[in-house]
Amino acid sequence: MEFIFHIAAAPDWQKALQSGEYRVSTQGKSLDDEGFIHASTEAQVAPVANAFYRDDDNLLLLVIDPDRLQPEIRYEQVPGWEAPFPHIYGPLNVDAVVRTLPLERNTEGSFNFTAIPSNRERSRP
């Protein structure tokens, strides 16, 4: 099982925890505006963060278990990007988020992302 990821503003995630579902698609756009929630694969996190979130602070990376997601995930090609992106077609149920991580810049001001182990890898002795 491979996790998928979503970059979220911390206040948006706090609202989702209260309501039970997350409905932000991307910066300044809701699920209703876009029709889906933007997500990324592990390899896409840092490039997306550096391309679209350079001026944002107080960001979290939502680590999503696709097996726990209630809405459909579609992997779709996005112009200008090599690999397709996972898109979540419905509200993100908060119990599908297995972990949140702060998304912080390095000393040069860029975002980095180090892979986290999958559930299977974490359970190994």
Residue 111 has pLDDT above 50, yes or no: yes
Q: Residue 73 domain-assigned? A: yes
Q: Residue 125 domain-assigned? A: no
* pLDDT tens column, 46-89: 999 999 998 888 999 999 999 999 999 999 999 989 999 999 99
* pLDDT tens column, 2-52: 999 999 999 999 999 999 999 999 988 999 999 999 999 999 999 999 999
Cα–Cα dist 31/25, whole Å: 5
Tell me the two tokens of residue 90. Answer: 């419905």
What is the count of structural domains for the chain? Answer: 1
User: At 72, which CATH number?
Assistant: 3.20.170.20
Q: Residue 109 domain-assigned? A: no
Q: Which of 37-41, 96-100, 110-114, 119-123 has the lowest mean pLDDT?
A: 119-123
CB 26 within 8 A of CB 52: yes
Q: Residue 77 domain-assigned? A: yes
Q: Residue 25 domain-assigned? A: yes
The SS3 call for residue 58 is coil
Range of the domain at 9: 4-104
